[in-house]
Amino acid sequence: MAIGDVYECFIREVGSYIWRDISFDKDTWTNVYEAERVGMFQYLSTWFEFGVITNDSMALVYWVSLNNQICVRYRGCKNVAKTHLIGFEGDVEAARDQSPANMDLQRWNAAIDHFLI
């Protein structure tokens, strides 16, 4: 299906993939490893037809817009994780044992290390 027709679904899938499969140990989405970004687009391509965008005369504008929305989702998810950590009021060891729902413990610990820098 075309992304324009299901924008909210697309953004929700982006957020869920980021939360589940992308580490928050980078400052911004552009610093995330290319392999992780490509993995996300491969996953999303099973649900969304990117060819519709690629073949459009406004393709560059659409790709920039989608990338901006992905950056916003990454920053938002990362903020939720940081807020979760702050909720432990400095007890980092307790935080390490209690990752946010649906987040891999190894990714959570990498995020904690990044937040503490």
Domain range annotation of the chain: 3-116
Mean pLDDT to the nearest integer, 11-33:
91
User: Per-residue pLDDT averaged across 10-30, rounded?
Assistant: 91
pLDDT at 2 over 60: no
Q: What is the pLDDT of residues 39-92, one digit of tens each?
A: 999 999 888 888 777 888 888 888 888 889 899 999 999 999 999 999 999 999
CB hemisphere CA count around 54 (13 angstroms): 5
* Mean pLDDT of all residues in 31-46: 92
The Cα–Cα gap between 114 and 55 comes to: 39
Distance from C-alpha of 67 to C-alpha of 96, rounded to nearest angstrom: 31
